[in-house]
Amino acid sequence: MTHQELTAVDYVIGVHEDPAELDPQAWNGLLATQAEPTPFMRHEYLLALHASGSAVPSTGWAPRFVTVHAGGVLQAACASYLKSHSYGEYVFDWAWADAYRRYGLRYYPKLLAAVPFTPVPGSRLLARSDAARQRLIDVLHSLLEADKLSSAHALFLDPVDAQALQAAGWMMREGVQFHWTQDAQDPMADFGTLLARLQRDKRKKIQQERRKVADQGVHFTAHEGADIGQREWDFFHHCYTLTYQAHHSTPYLTRDFFTRMASTLPTHWLMFVAHVNDEPVATSLIAIDPQRRVAWGRYWGCITPLPCLHFEACYYQPLSWCLANGYLRFEGGAQGEHKMARGLLPVKTASAHWLRDPRFASAVADFLAAEGQGIGQYVDELRERNPFKAG
């Protein structure tokens, strides 16, 4: 169906409070046509978040999944939620909520288009055409007005979605993450090649850190896809909960969520397990896309804290694996300037925001303009500290 045909037909709009109401094949088929389709937007992933009790109304995530059909075909879709707080988002608006509170206004619930607990850039407004994407944005505005919500937010956007939302009048906000990307012109053959291209002080630091881990008798096993057994998943989840306990917080994801991942999306997971004397002491979980050759660092935990173990489990083992398996990008997750010393470089991320109250919208626009200048200067400074040798 052409763009002109779409503008002349009636859309059928759906707003769904349970991902189970959606057609998985239609959703995933639409996702596959997008600019940056990640596994985290697949129907299996979103359904597991809901069905496992991880992202549900009782935890502050009330699904409002939007679908747009025309001619009996899913033309656009968006995973959005009514949020009663700002936890698990990684784009921080606590100050905005506090400003509303001080003026006696209600900030929550707000409307959020994002993947819960997942700061991974990718497609959010799934659409087959510009017209369908605009219709999706119109529906988000309608939900905002119908429920008199304070605001709407779309996080970790791909460039297509960011451009569409900015054109629709949403305010843009930038963040910074750290990613390793394979050099297309001069590919790195292995981890040794990566080390050789780093500046001498960075290379020596990594070598020292890896030596410390090895000298403590630590060795790693890698488990991919169906080779991750229940024993590994159980140990991982135990370590995952220990990480949250160490920070005096509660894990976002239930054990049932990971059980569902093992059964519905097995090919998208890679796990490293650290052993001492054949006993597991730590683990890290990496999400992978074997088709697009992209990997994402997600979670880690340990039962025995050891010097430099975190760096080995979360950066050096995954990077070595990515290089050995022809992967093109490894994203290290939210924040973390220390990742630069491990060969990951700064990359800007984008989010979009719409505040219904024009007074607060104006104040936030001023804030974002100043913040954006600061982000630009920060990235420039980071790039001047490039860990790789010049030339």
43-101 tens-digit pLDDT: 999 999 999 999 999 999 999 999 999 999 999 999 999 999 999 999 999 999 999 99
Q: Look up residue 232 and give its two tokens.
A: 């590994």
Q: pTM of the entire structure?
A: 0.95
Answer for the pair 111, 143: CB distance below 8 angstroms, yes or no: yes
Dump pLDDT digits (tens) for 308-322.
999 999 999 999 999
pLDDT digits (tens, 9 = 90+) for 170-227: 999 999 999 999 999 999 999 999 999 999 999 999 999 999 999 999 999 999 999 9
What is the pLDDT, as a whole number, of residue 121?
98
pLDDT tens-digit series, residues 101-118:
999 999 999 999 999 999
Confidence of residue 7 (pLDDT cuts 50, 70, 90): very low
Burial of 241 (0-12, 13-18, 19+ CB in 10 A): middle
**Residue 4's pLDDT is what?**
32
Query: Would you place residue 333 in the very low, low, confident or very high pLDDT band (cuts 50, 70, 90)?
Result: confident
DSSP letter, residue 122: B
What is the number of domains present in the chain? 2
- Cβ–Cβ < 8 Å for 162, 350: yes
- Would 52 be classed as within a structural domain? yes
Query: pLDDT digits over 284-308, tens only?
Result: 999 999 999 999 999 999 998 999 9
User: Domain boundary residue among 296, 327, 358?
Assistant: 327
pLDDT for the residue 41? 98
State the DSSP H helix or E strand holding residue 228, giving kind and residue range, or none if neither. none
Q: Among candidates 151, 170, 119, which has minimal Cα distance to 336? A: 119
Percent of the chain with pLDDT over 90: 93
Please tell me whether residues 28 and 105 are part of one structural domain: yes
At 334 the pLDDT is 84
Locate 197 and state its tokens: 């291209």
pLDDT at 22 over 90: yes
pLDDT at residue 391, rounded to an integer:
67
Whether 118 contacts 146, CB under 8 Å: no
How many CA atoms lie within 13 Å of 225's alpha carbon, on the beta-carbon side?
A: 4
In a domain, 336, yes or no: no
Domain of residue 201, CATH code: 3.40.630.30
Q: Count Cβ atoms within 10 A of the Cβ of residue 45 and give its class: 0-12 exposed, 13-18 middle, 19 or more buried.
A: buried
Amino acid occupying residue 338? H
Q: Are residues 106 and 131 in the same domain?
A: yes
b/e for 296-329, b at 16 or more Cβ within 10 A?
Answer: bbbbbbbeeebebbbbbbbbbbbbbbbbeeebbb
| Statement to judge: residues 7 and 146 lie in one domain | yes
User: Which range of residues forms the domain containing residue 308?
Assistant: 183-327
Are residue 119 and residue 199 in the same domain, yes or no?
Answer: no
The reported pLDDT for the residue numbered 5 is 36
Mean pLDDT for all residues in the chain? 95
Which residues fall within 8 angstroms of residue 81, CB to CB, at 6 or more apart?
A: 55, 61, 62, 63, 64, 111, 112, 114, 116
